[in-house]
Structure 1
Amino acid sequence: MNAQFKPSSVYPVLPNPNDVALHEIDVSDPRLLASGEWETYFKRLRDEDPVHYIEDSPFGPFWSVTRFEDILFVDRNHQLFSSEPVIVIGDRPEDMLLDMFIAMDPPKHDKQRQAVQGVVAPANLAQLEGLIRSRVEDILDNLPTDKEFNWVEEVSIELTARMLATLFGMPQEDRHKLIYWSDMATADPALTGGEADRDEVLQAMHECATYFSQLWLQRKEEIKAGNKSYDLISLLLSNDDTRDLIDRPMEFLGNLLLLIVGGNDTTRNSITGGIKFLNEFPKEYEKLRADHSLIPNMVSEIIRFQTPLAHMRRLATQDVELAGKTIKKGDKVVMWYVSGNRDERAIDTPDQFTIDRPNARHHLSFGFGVHRCMGNRLAEMQLRILWEEILQRFETIEVVGETEHVLSNFVKGYTKLPVQLHKK
């Protein structure tokens, strides 16, 4: 059921960024993240043109904001930089004009976000911790220890799917539908440069809308009967601003997809990234095995180093001066979190994965301002529990083959990480 968007094993040759005229550098090319070439491209922009304009790209003209502090300025000033109508670099096709609260400005954004905020409130997270741990234990205890397997499929996707199904209050046997819908929603070529077929995307979105319409009506009857629960659908139904969401079909589907994608990509790709980075920086793995108390700090470092969502887009609401450039009203502005998290002006030795890094939570992966990631504490908790349980069972998890990546300029993710477990 899981959608696989595997780039070719042999990438078309990307030019050396230092051989490209500065004004021609196009960091919207999805091959950059998939091939690993993104680091050198963004470093040149940070050093030479940190607020960079490209006039001609497959996604139209846009500004790239690549330094940490400039990204903070854009993210924190929603009055100057609107999230409407979409937060990815591409524009939605006419047949998929969804509406979602991450792509809304206050006050409408605040009301809809508040409706579901309770699912990640501290009291609810405390209740979820035991459930997450039991699911992590079950997954890890059933992994093969005598052969190579794909960590992405067996662990990253499986744990994420189980938790998403729990948050939505849907049957566990349907959990992989959520991953498929999430993958399809973020792989539209017009939006992110992905490889999905447009007809398949539309079909998947129709299936998602139909499924959740049925679940919505079922949950509505349960609430009428006095059977209350604390899942996302029940929270939306119980809030005055969202109880009629099903009567606004594109907003209904848009907000559900937002919650699905938000719960999928950050956690799933950080679960994979952590294994990859510890193999690339073996001294950090030694440090971790010697001191398990480093896990919470390491979790923040994983999320910074991975940066699961590479960018967020805004539209300028008026002319704005930034880093000596004049951004005109109506211009598309793209905050490249993936670049800001490697900005040596804000982070010491940013290209080093350092699990005991001081102030490790000083990163951009969750965003800032009114749109800061709602589920950041849940993502951190899942990663913390996973690593606590991994270290109880395995001496090392060894990467034994080539990593395969999602083809996208938005999702910085994986489709394959071959590993071999080594038990204690």
Structure 2
Amino acid sequence: MSEAIKQADDIIPDPYSLPIDALSVVQARLFQTDSHWAYFERLRKEDPVHLNDDEDWGRHWSITKFNDIMYVDKHHDLFSSEDGITLGLPTSRQHERANFQTSNFIAMDPPKHDVQRATVSPVVQPSNLALMESTIRERVCNILDSLPRDKEFNWVDLVSIELTTQMLATLFDFPFEDRRLLTHWSDIATAGPDSDIDYRVRQQELMKCLEYFTRLWNERVNEPPRTDLISMLAHGENTRDMDPMEYLGNLILLIVGGNDTTRNSLTGGVLALNQNPDQYQKLKENPDLIPKLVPEIIRWQTPLAYMRRTAAQDTELGGKQIKKGDKLLMWYVSGNRDEEVIDNPNDFIIDRANPRHHLSFGFGIHRCMGNRLAEMQIKIAWEEILKRFDKVEVTGEPVRTLSTFVKGYTHLPVRLHEKQ
């Protein structure tokens, strides 16, 4: 176990005080306390393809620079997704998942990945996105108009979660009155090994998810095909015969994918603009910058900190010898701050010349399927925010998610200042 992990839970050591070989970024507390930046900075400078081999996580590489990450992401023949896209559980807790194995198309290689992804991707094709725009705007307006005007409230709950949950309910044609179940199941599914959710409770809750969606499947499969995700899966030639646990795995993928990027970017954008008041002023003076603001928020926030791959054969990366079976963590959160690729990467700049040059959606065959939908939701949200409010003021410290995977928030206190 690394020296960093041995430290008391409430102490985050200076990464430069540790031997480079002992440096580990697989620590949820680093992300919850927003202390990970210096760790990644040192790795990018001194050991950008960094090996850890410890009793908790086994042999794994942290890939921290933009171009190395993009190389791994694009070469699915060398770096497989089949064994999972996260580190999962530490060695001592592997028994917790022994009888609860799910699969989904993001954790598959071609050809199965390709045909399953193709089944559901039409839901976010450009023609469908155009049809969704008016619905998204109407819901954004309703949410913003219902917010408290005279007191502090939690932006995460009343705005970020509510908007993304409403959108998910639309994509699944899920009963609107039960839409908060989708957020609940997303949070359960992404809860890391450091969370206080017992694995038996987690499994019970996910089985409730499966039971609910199985009822919806049974309804849709006996109806003519429709354009919602459940109907697409139920009628798709390559998905209609999925076993229950594969169905659950794909549901979790689609729920989490539709939740985390938008939810945490909507919150992260408010925080970033408050931390950079000159950029907030620039935005208010020129709302036409919103199309550039959106990808800068997504880069700045990096809603999913990493994705994992497994070496399919012996290979080399960054001058290091990677062995077949080694786990590789593509730290998007680090690559998005790579000084050699992005100018002034630690600065939040809403008028960058090439703002969509970031890693947050991944590359290659696993590039985020719903990236345009996420961007559209955030764009519409900020268009409507600027129409109504002089400022969304952050009034206290954010509460960040305890996770190395989901880089998000559970609470952001704000107060609205209406336009005069």
Normalization by structure 2: what TM-score?
A: 0.95
Cα distance in structure 1, aligned partners of 2:36 and 2:200: 30
TM-superposed deviation, 1:229: 2.3
Cα distance in structure 2, aligned partners of 1:414 and 1:195: 16
Taking the TM superposition and a 5 Å limit, the aligned residue runs for 1:262-281 are 262-281=257-276
Say whether the 8 Å CA contact 1:289–1:391 is kept in structure 2: yes
Equivalent position of 2:73 in the other structure: 75
Say whether the 8 Å CA contact 1:50–1:67 is kept in structure 2: yes
Tell me the SS of whatever aligns to 1:96.
coil
TM-superposed deviation, 1:57: 5.3
- Structure 2 residue 99 is the aligned partner of structure 1 residue 95: yes
Say whether the 8 Å CA contact 1:150–1:419 is kept in structure 2: yes
Equivalent position of 2:128 in the other structure: 124
Residue 142 of structure 2 aligns to which amino acid in structure 1? D
Equivalent position of 2:219 in the other structure: 218
TM-superposed deviation, 1:243: 1.4
Taking the TM superposition and a 5 Å limit, the aligned residue runs for 1:149-298 are 149-189=153-193, 193-223=194-224, 228-245=225-242, 248-298=243-293
Tell me the SS of whatever aligns to 1:222.
coil
Equivalent position of 2:378 in the other structure: 383
Say whether the 8 Å CA contact 1:399–1:417 is kept in structure 2: yes
Say whether the 8 Å CA contact 2:192–2:402 is kept in structure 1: no
TM-superposed deviation, 1:85: 2.0
Cα distance in structure 2, aligned partners of 1:310 and 1:57: 22
Count of residues paired in the alignment:
406
- Structure 2 residue 338 is the aligned partner of structure 1 residue 343: yes
In the alignment, structure 2 segments of 5+ residues that lack a partner are 1-7
Cα distance in structure 1, aligned partners of 2:192 and 2:277: 37
Residue 235 of structure 1 aligns to which amino acid in structure 2? M
Residue 37 (structure 2) aligned to one of 36, 39, 46: 39
- Structure 2 residue 405 is the aligned partner of structure 1 residue 410: yes
Cα distance in structure 2, aligned partners of 1:64 and 1:320: 15
Of stretches 54-63 and 255-264 in structure 1, the one that deviates more from structure 2 is 54-63
Cα distance in structure 2, aligned partners of 1:298 and 1:59: 37
Instruction: Give the 3 Å change call, closer, same or farther, for CA 292–57 of structure 1 in structure 2.
Output: farther
Say whether the 8 Å CA contact 2:221–2:235 is kept in structure 1: no
Tell me the SS of whatever aligns to 1:357.
coil
CA deviations over 1:378-414 (Å, ceiling 9, x no partner):
0000000000000000000000011001100000000
Residue 28 (structure 2) aligned to one of 23, 27, 30: 30
Equivalent position of 2:5 in the other structure: none
Normalization by structure 1: what TM-score?
A: 0.94
TM-superposed deviation, 1:188: 3.8
Say whether the 8 Å CA contact 1:185–1:205 is kept in structure 2: yes
Cα distance in structure 1, aligned partners of 2:156 and 2:57: 30
Residue 369 of structure 1 aligns to which amino acid in structure 2? G
Tell me the SS of whatever aligns to 2:58.
coil
Instruction: Give the 3 Å change call, closer, same or farther, for CA 417–57 of structure 1 in structure 2.
Output: farther
TM-superposed deviation, 1:220: 1.4
Residue 111 (structure 1) aligned to one of 89, 110, 115: 115
Tell me the SS of whatever aligns to 1:61.
strand
TM-superposed deviation, 1:59: 2.2
Cα distance in structure 1, aligned partners of 2:195 and 2:78: 29
Residue 259 of structure 1 aligns to which amino acid in structure 2? L
TM-superposed deviation, 1:249: 1.5
CA deviations over 1:31-55 (Å, ceiling 9, x no partner):
1111111100000000000000011
Residue 60 of structure 2 aligns to which amino acid in structure 1? F
TM-superposed deviation, 1:14: 1.0
Cα distance in structure 2, aligned partners of 1:307 and 1:122: 24
Cα distance in structure 2, aligned partners of 1:11 and 1:400: 27
RMSD between aligned residues: 1.1
Say whether the 8 Å CA contact 1:72–1:368 is kept in structure 2: yes
TM-superposed deviation, 1:261: 0.3
CA deviations over 1:329-366 (Å, ceiling 9, x no partner):
11011100000000001100000000001100000000
Cα distance in structure 1, aligned partners of 2:271 and 2:99: 38
Equivalent position of 1:6 in the other structure: none
